[in-house]
Amino acid sequence: MSLRTLALGASMLFALAAAAGSAKADTVSVFCGATDYDLCVKAADAWKAKTGNEAKINKMPATLDDAIPLYQQLLAAKSPDVDVLFLDVIWLGMFKNNLLDIKDKVPQAEKDAHFASTLGAGDIGGELIALPAYMDVGLMFYRKDLLEKYGMQPPKTWDELAAQAKEIQDKERAAGNKDMWGYTWQAKSYEGLTCDAIELIASNGGGTIISDDGKVTIDNPDAAQAIERAKGWIGTISPEGVLNYDEEASRAVFEAGNSAFHRNWPYVWGTSQGGGGPLVGKVGMMPLPVGKDGQKSSGCLGPMYFGVNKYSAKPELATEFVRFITGPDMQKMRAIEGAYNPSISALYTDEDVLKKLPFLKDTEPAFADSATRPSGYTGTSYNRVSQAFYRAVHDMLTGDEEVEAGLKKLAGRLEKLKESR
């Protein structure tokens, strides 16, 4: 037998051995966010220990939106290279045609464990295309020491908040804090204003811009009333600068001790209570107020999801991993080790979780009653719809556009945009 024949034989044996090994080693490839990459690796380790299967975790770009063109390229090519995708809630409509419907592969009990609003955002057109891993929702932070000082209870309506904010602001300024404001929030012309405005409008009975069945709902008296209310805060209980505030700029004012109330995401609990800052032990959290009696607190829903690439060569295994990483054990791990808010309601009474995130017991209604942005229906047009919305609302808040006329003009613009989805 020649050396060449031996070499070919050895090569074939090696190839066969490699093929046999790969058949035994079940592996899925997973995208995960940069900020929680380590927790994804830990989940993959736990999955391997439990099932013997492996998950290769791929770190996404530091800025999440930078992953959109990466996903677009991957999915346009119908590539099976990545089996499981990490998804922002507002991407679900954008990528819905490229995600596997796993509705019949997930037991009903597992679905029911999640907050209905969060699970529902992953169900588009009757197809369950993603499961929630954790969630964010707009919340109200307040100076509980100041409310106690002036004999106040946390407000239940926006008008009560405005009245309390004005009283605290005036009295604190009279006592020497000339920089004190009643309320800080996000009114800059950007995606954050879409969230803040939806919260105000939905909690006033004015809908969420575009309904799930595609009807443009924004031009209505309840929406107009909500925007007029917020417009009246600027320069009275909120600084003029709020028109340029994003999350971080508004948080800075609150955490400097210069705002009685502050709307933001749950992460502010950690930033305000850590590092020996001036607000340690002085901050309370609650669901956002309502605009009218009978309405729900409508914090903007901001969860993250895992879904299965429709072109995966291992859809069953990928679905198993999605179920595992979004299940109660991994959500509990994320809550305790990363302070991520679970989408599984039972964890809001879990003693271990509450030790890490004590505010959850008071804010569960906010997660249950959240409002969604219209990304499911608008799909690939969502970014243009949101941009049209927040720019129009910003013009109304600054006074560059009258509210009623602005809403009518916005509705016409959205009618055209929704058709290009």
Amino acid at 408: K
pLDDT band at 71 (very low <50, low <70, confident <90, very high): very high
User: Between these two residues, 229 and 35, which has the higher pLDDT value?
Assistant: 229
> H/E element holding 44?
helix 37-51
pLDDT at 275: 78
Segment 324-334 shows an average pLDDT of 97
143 neighbors 122 (Cβ within 8 angstroms) = no
SS3 of 319-337? HHHHHHHCCHHHHHHHHHH
Domains 26-136+302-368 and 139-300+374-418 share a fold: yes
Short-list 364, 365, 389, 367, CA closest to 201: 389
pLDDT tens for 97-125 read: 999 999 999 999 999 999 998 999 999 98
pLDDT at 9: 39
Is residue 1 over pLDDT 70?
no
| 376: Cβ contacts below 8 Å, ≥ 6 apart | 92, 93, 96, 121, 124, 212
Phi-psi region of 214 (alpha: psi -120 to 50; beta: other; left: phi over 0): left
pLDDT at 364: 85
Alpha-carbon distance of 207 to 91, in angstroms, equals 21
Alpha helices in 211-356 (DSSP H): 221-233, 247-255, 267-273, 315-325, 328-338, 351-356
Sheet architecture: strand order including 131-134: 54-59, 27-32, 84-88, 304-308, 131-134
pLDDT, averaged across the chain: 91
Sheet architecture: strand order including 181-184: 181-184, 259-264, 139-143, 283-286
Alpha helices in 82-205 (DSSP H): 108-112, 116-121, 144-149, 158-174, 191-202
Alpha-carbon distance of 247 to 186, in angstroms, equals 6
Does the domain at residues 139-300+374-418 carry the CATH identifier 3.40.190.10? yes
| 416: Cβ contacts below 8 Å, ≥ 6 apart | none
CATH of domain 26-136+302-368: 3.40.190.10
DSSP 8-state assignment for residue 106: S
195 neighbors 265 (Cβ within 8 angstroms) = no
pLDDT band at 274 (very low <50, low <70, confident <90, very high): confident
159 neighbors 290 (Cβ within 8 angstroms) = no
Is residue 237 over pLDDT 50?
yes
For residue 106, count other CB atoms closer than 10 A to its CB.
Answer: 16
pLDDT at 5: 36
Alpha-carbon distance of 148 to 411, in angstroms, equals 43
**Hey, CA dihedral for 257, 259, 260, 262, is it positive or negative?**
negative
Short-list 207, 238, 216, 201, CA closest to 388: 216
pLDDT at 263: 98
pLDDT tens for 4-27 read: 333 433 343 333 333 333 446 799
Tokens of 246: 């994003």
Is residue 376 over pLDDT 90?
no
**Percent of the chain clearing pLDDT 90 (strictly above):** 80
Is residue 373 over pLDDT 50?
yes
Is residue 133 over pLDDT 70?
yes
171 neighbors 151 (Cβ within 8 angstroms) = no
pLDDT tens for 182-208 read: 999 999 999 999 999 999 999 999 999
pLDDT band at 89 (very low <50, low <70, confident <90, very high): very high
Is residue 299 over pLDDT 60?
yes
| 256: Cβ contacts below 8 Å, ≥ 6 apart | 179, 278
Is residue 310 over pLDDT 80?
yes
pLDDT band at 369 (very low <50, low <70, confident <90, very high): confident
Segment 51-55 shows an average pLDDT of 97
Q: Where are the domains of the chain?
A: 26-136+302-368, 139-300+374-418
Q: What residue has token string 């340029």?
A: 244
Amino acid at 190: Y
